[in-house]
Amino acid sequence: YIYTFTDNRVILTFNKIIAIPLLLSALNVNAQQQNITYNVIASPYTSDQSVVVVVDNTVWPLTSTLGIMYQGTAPIAQTEYHYAILESNQQVNTTEEFTRSPVSESTVNEFFNREKNSYQINSLPNVMTPLSSINRIQSDLHIDGQIPTIHIWGNTSAVSFLHEKQLEDVDVELNFTYIGLQEVQTFENVKVSLAGRSSRYVPKLSYGLKMKKKSDDNLFGYKNLKLRAFGMDPSYIRECVSYSTLKAAGLPASGFSYVRLFINNKPIGLYGLIETFQDPWVASQFAGGDKNYESGYLYQGVTAGDNPTIPVISNLDYYTNLSYYNAGEYKIKAGPSRKNDEDYTRLQSFTKFIQDANAETTIEEWGQQLDTDGFLRSMALENLLGFSDAYMTLSNNFYLYSDPKSSGQLVFFAADLDTTLGISLFEINLMLSGNYTEHPGFTFQPLTKKFFSYDAFTTPYQELLLNLTNSLVNPTIMNPFIDSVVTMITQDVKWDNALPKVGVFQMPPVVNETTDAADAFSLFPPGLRMSWTEEVPQTFESAVTGPSNSTTMESVKDFIAKKSQAIIAFYNN
């Protein structure tokens, strides 16, 4: 069949003979029906293709708005409706693989070839009360069971420039539109950059979005966002599970949700949406979004600066020279000032406290320096979730917030959670051990080595490991959550894997295998992997459920099962 336009709609034509009785019947029915608006996100392959809605076998044209949003009025369906993409001669290019049930009101913003608009997610239980420092805003940025769309659009040369500078820190000014089921918001003159460090070496790139600082622009209370590409996580769920677990344990953390990303009308793929930890995020996390909040310093540990001239890393070692803290291994993401050596004074004083602490140092003195409850929880989850690119392992991906409400007490929390739950930069047997002292870095890093030299911290830490294993990090609790997320994203993962990537594979820098390697590896705990030749490619299914058929990694579910068994076995012996 082909489609033929008549007035403002299209009717089915079979063998070039119009089915007149059917047409007259449709006209009579339509005259009695109420029109509603149909809304769908779609991406025709060429500019001369069109998007239509087929309502009870009658075809109605839709008009493009916002580039990828198509809208139009048509009668309420009596039996079914679906969307299709037509060629310029009205022949069908693509039609949805299913039909949709009638709705009596205008549709939500649906997505082409996605049968469901929302899903039921089996959320993780909140097993611990949030830390007293947390005062997080109520926001609709992350809605369970929904996958909104973000469309970045603007100057094509700027987009090309950004992608051509894959390994460089550049940003360009573009616009983006957020399309939820009910909500559509557009933001102009947004700084768009490539995000991450190691994630820049893979073809599917991650992005940062930064709205104008002195404007009222915000997306559900947030001005700065990251779009995480899952470029090194074939399961697509490690960050989702990890951030959800941090929240369930009452720790400061970004929320997490999935979005579909388009750039200049072209589909890019399925992404994770998280918040960027910098001003004004601290007010959203610790001050209920108070616009007049005067934040403390937010320090970020990034292991080492780019092209460092001083051999220092962000392991919380103490240096008498204050400028050593400003050598690139730490960054200041919020606070009164971020440029001067003096802005690192609070961090230096904490590292000196760590160095000087001894048997006479009281637990109260530790509590004045550090939220010890939060640190215990954070270290427990670094262990249980196998954070292999974190504080204990690589002195990386952690934050310390100097809370002004608690006289500058530091609150520790983690970020960038893609190398977790079975993807490991360290030997996998160490990450799976039930013996907490075998976790890479536990007895190596300055803070954990000193902190856990006190029985007053080691005893509750072990209790916490066992309690969190029994109440949260085990297959009985986590697998239903994982299964519900996988059900929601499966179609989008297939879509994502079929899309062309805008980046190219880049060779990471390689240290000299002799002297340079020895010097570099001496900075980190034993167990850091030196060979990557034995990696086994994983499918979505094997990365989630297993078997991985690998000696260096585990699927998400297998990691949780083996880790929880190891913890319980260790404490039963």
**Cβ–Cβ < 8 Å for 70, 63:** yes
Q: pLDDT digits over 395-423, tens only?
A: 999 999 999 999 999 999 999 999 999 99
Task: Please identify every stretch of the chain with a pLDDT value under 70, giving residue numbers as ranges.
Answer: 1-33, 510-518
**Cβ–Cβ < 8 Å for 251, 377:** yes
As a whole number of Å, the CA-based R_g of the chain is 27
Domain ranges of the chain: 2-111, 149-356+364-490+512-572
Q: Across the strands, what pairs with 219?
A: 222
3-state DSSP call for residue 160?
Answer: helix
- The top-level CATH class assigned to 2-111 is mainly beta
Query: Distances in Å between the alpha carbon of 328 and those of 309, 334, 399, 541?
Result: 9, 16, 14, 39
Residue 565 is classified by DSSP as: H
User: What local confidence, expressed as pLDDT, does residue 513 receive?
Assistant: 52
User: What local confidence, expressed as pLDDT, does residue 518 receive?
Assistant: 62
Query: Distances in Å between the alpha carbon of 273 and those of 212, 268, 276, 350, 357?
Result: 19, 14, 10, 32, 40
User: What local confidence, expressed as pLDDT, does residue 3 receive?
Assistant: 42
Q: 519: how many CB neighbours lie within 10 A of its CB? A: 12
Q: List all residues 6 or more positions away from 165 whose beta carbon is below 8 Å from its beta carbon.
A: 194
**Cβ–Cβ < 8 Å for 110, 117:** yes
User: What local confidence, expressed as pLDDT, does residue 512 receive?
Assistant: 52
Of residues 285, 456, 436, the one with CA closest to residue 372: 456
Q: What is the pTM of this model?
A: 0.93
Of residues 193, 204, 178, the one with CA closest to residue 109: 178
Q: pLDDT digits over 43-97, tens only?
A: 999 999 999 999 999 999 999 998 999 999 999 999 999 999 999 999 999 999 9
Q: How far apart are CA 120 and CA 111, in angstroms?
A: 18
Listing DSSP states for 502-513 in one string gives: SS---PPP---T
Beta strands in 195-294 (DSSP E): 207-210, 224-228, 257-263, 266-275
**Cβ–Cβ < 8 Å for 22, 6:** no
Q: pLDDT digits over 208-262, tens only?
A: 999 998 899 999 999 999 999 999 999 999 999 999 999 999 999 999 999 999 9
Q: How far apart are CA 274 and CA 239, in angstroms?
A: 10
User: What local confidence, expressed as pLDDT, does residue 196 receive?
Assistant: 87
Kindly report the three-state secondary structure assignment for every residue of 403-449: EHHHCCEEEEEECCCCCCCCCCCECHHHHCCCCHHHCCCCCCCHHHH
User: What local confidence, expressed as pLDDT, does residue 339 receive?
Assistant: 85
User: What local confidence, expressed as pLDDT, does residue 533 receive?
Assistant: 72
User: What local confidence, expressed as pLDDT, does residue 11 receive?
Assistant: 44
The per-type count for the chain, helices as H runs and strands as E runs, is: 15, 22
User: What local confidence, expressed as pLDDT, does residue 511 receive?
Assistant: 55
User: What local confidence, expressed as pLDDT, does residue 16 receive?
Assistant: 34
